[in-house]
Amino acid sequence: MKRLSIQWRVTLWFTLLMTLLAAVGLGFLFFMGGQSALSATKSRMEQMAEDSRAQMGLGTDGIVFDSDLEYFRDGVYLSAYDDQGLPLYGAVPQRFDNSIVFSDSLLREVEDTGGRWYLYDVRCTVGQQDVWVRTVAAVDEIDATITVLLHLAVIVLPFFVVLAAVGGFVLTGRAFAPVRRITQTAREIGQGGDLSRRINLGPGRDEIHTLANEFDHMFARLEASFETEKQFANDASHELRTPTAVILTQCEDALDGNASPEELRAALKAVQRQGEKMAGLLSQLLLLARADSGRQTLRREPVDLSGLAAAVAEEQRELAAEKQISVTTKITPGLVVLGDETLLMRMLINLMENGIKYGRQGGRLALTLTLTGDADTVTGRVSDDGIGIAAGDLEKVWRRFWQADPARSRGGAGLGLSMVKWIVEAHGGCITVESTLGRGTVFTFALPRQKAVARPE
């Protein structure tokens, strides 16, 4: 049984169930039909006997019977006898023993050498004479009717079984067609690796359509994840290829044997710069990889975000001064959040370095930190008046390695803002970006405030 497909197993169980129900139903119908036929025959016997009272009278030659009095109707015989048991009117079955004793108004079953019979006798008085009216019906004839019905059922039942099997197979075939489609699509994806394939069963509210839609969503997520990982690997390889090539070139020149001490020193400094760049890139990649896998833990503690922001702004002023960018701050003191101080510092540094990197020469960079939302949320803003971002690219700034155009590719790997987004969200906050091309960009983040806990005196 386990070797059969689910369709065949469901078909067999459906056929067996329908056969059982049909057999029970037909058996019940035939039983009730037989009982109904027997009840109708007995009722007819009693009715014919009782109706005969009004169709008998007393004549000059004795008892006379109305010409409308039927002596046979639908298998029931009627006959009349005087008080001595001599026949006066009617007929009885050919093999019936007419010597059976009368019993007034009693329906009974008797058996003689001729067979089994139902009898019903009625004693009537016509004038001063007693008359017995007897109705007789053969038990075998009623049983024969039931037997004919049973034979008919034996003939009809196999056709019903075949019809149930064929109908069950067709219905289950149509019901399992979506399952076969799911299986085929999964097999083709597994063999060809084409994650763009979809089942596409269309709209539906049953379990199979729900399962197919979930599979399609899963395939879509797998495709997006696979493409992201592939793009991530390509971009990481591209970012590491340039410093690697510089390091190899500088090492080859230094090992040439003709380099002066100054040239060797310059080569070592170039190797150091590229090594630091690679180390920073690998550090960011490791952090993001741990974040994706859920293995990057946050060392949560109360952090004075106001003091941290002021320290970062002061540190970034030196870098901004190289481009004559003025850094201004407006920080509400004493704003505390529960979080990882190192990661929060990295978030602020990345935002300010981004503003300096893409700010215009002689421009400005502003950092504000205030309370909002009934003093439950710390809101920060980092704004610049630099080159800005096109409206269609605003959502792309969070992608890893994404750079809108060569004008925005100024030595960065494109990982800073993706790290910022993860850090903010890991702390239960949110971050948005607004920008106008050629006029500047504003990053706004919100973090839940850590309220002070009153100490008992």
Q: What is the pLDDT of residue 135?
A: 92
Query: What angle do the packed helices 341-357 and 416-426 form, to 10 degrees?
Result: 140
Alpha-carbon distance 378 to 281, whole Å? 30
Q: Which two tokens stand for residue 448?
A: 């839940």
Q: Among 201-205, 387-391, 445-449, name the one with the lowest average pLDDT.
A: 201-205
Average pLDDT over residues 261-290: 76
Alpha-carbon distance 208 to 210, whole Å? 5
Average pLDDT over residues 418-422: 85
pLDDT at 228 over 70: no
Q: Residue 343 in contact with residue 283, Cβ under 8 Å?
A: no
Q: What is the pLDDT of residue 364?
A: 92
Q: What is the pLDDT of residue 358?
A: 87
Q: What is the pLDDT of residue 457?
A: 43
Q: Residue 94 in contact with residue 118, Cβ under 8 Å?
A: no
Instruction: Give the position of tokens 């896998």.
Output: 293
**293 three-state secondary structure:** helix
Q: Percentage of the chain with pLDDT > 90? A: 18
**What does pTM read for this prediction?**
0.49
pLDDT at 41 over 70: yes
Q: What is the pLDDT of residue 2?
A: 59
pLDDT at 284 over 80: no
Q: What is the pLDDT of residue 249?
A: 82
Q: What is the pLDDT of residue 456?
A: 44
Q: Where are the domains of the chain?
A: 54-137, 207-293, 301-448
As a whole number of Å, the CA-based R_g of the chain is 51
Alpha-carbon distance 278 to 239, whole Å? 9
Helices and strands of the chain, counted as H and E runs: 7, 15
Q: Which two tokens stand for residue 190?
A: 């597994």
Alpha-carbon distance 360 to 94, whole Å? 127
Alpha-carbon distance 222 to 391, whole Å? 28
In sequence order, the 6+-apart residues with CB closer than 8 A to the CB of 146 are 30, 33, 34, 37
For the range 114-121, what are the long-range contacts, defined as Cβ-Cβ under 8 Å and sequence gap of 24 or more? Answer: 115/139, 115/140, 116/140, 117/93, 118/41, 118/42, 118/45, 120/42, 120/45, 120/46, 120/49, 121/49
In sequence order, the 6+-apart residues with CB closer than 8 A to the CB of 339 are 298, 300, 301, 303, 427, 447
pLDDT at 37 over 70: yes
Q: What is the pLDDT of residue 413?
A: 54
Q: Residue 365 in contact with residue 320, Cβ under 8 Å?
A: yes
Query: Residue 97 carries which side chain, given as an amino acid letter?
Result: D
Instruction: Give the position of tokens 């386990």.
Output: 2
Helix (H) or strand (E) holding 444: strand 440-448
Q: What is the pLDDT of residue 139?
A: 84
Helix (H) or strand (E) holding 214: helix 207-254
Per mean pLDDT, which of 33-37, 133-137, 167-171 is the most reliable? 133-137
250 or 133: whose pLDDT is higher?
133
Q: Among 54-68, 208-222, 234-248, 368-382, name the one with the lowest average pLDDT.
A: 234-248
46 or 374: whose pLDDT is higher?
46
pLDDT in tens, 374-418: 778 999 999 999 888 888 777 878 776 666 554 444 455 566 788
Cβ neighbour number for residue 9 with a 10 Å cutoff = 14
Q: What is the pLDDT of residue 381?
A: 94
Q: For strand 440-448 and strand 72-73, is the pairing parallel, antiparallel, or unpaired?
A: unpaired
295 pLDDT tier (thresholds 50, 70, 90): low
Per mean pLDDT, which of 62-66, 270-274, 290-294, 344-348 is the most reliable? 344-348
Q: Which two tokens stand for residue 72?
A: 């046979």
Alpha-carbon distance 179 to 376, whole Å? 52
pLDDT at 454 over 70: no
- 207-293 fold: Helix Hairpins (1.10.287)
Average pLDDT over residues 125-136: 88
Q: How far is CA 377 from the centre of its chain?
A: 39
pLDDT in tens, 92-118: 988 888 888 898 888 888 988 888 889
236 pLDDT tier (thresholds 50, 70, 90): low
Average pLDDT over residues 162-169: 80
Q: What is the pLDDT of residue 1?
A: 53
Classify residue 297 by its DSSP letter.
Answer: -
Alpha-carbon distance 162 to 156, whole Å? 10
pLDDT at 141 over 70: yes
CATH code for residues 301-448: 3.30.565.10
Q: What is the pLDDT of residue 437?
A: 86
Q: Which two tokens stand for residue 283?
A: 């550090």
First-to-last C-alpha distance (Å) of the chain: 77
Alpha-carbon distance 108 to 120, whole Å? 7
pLDDT in tens, 325-339: 999 999 999 999 998
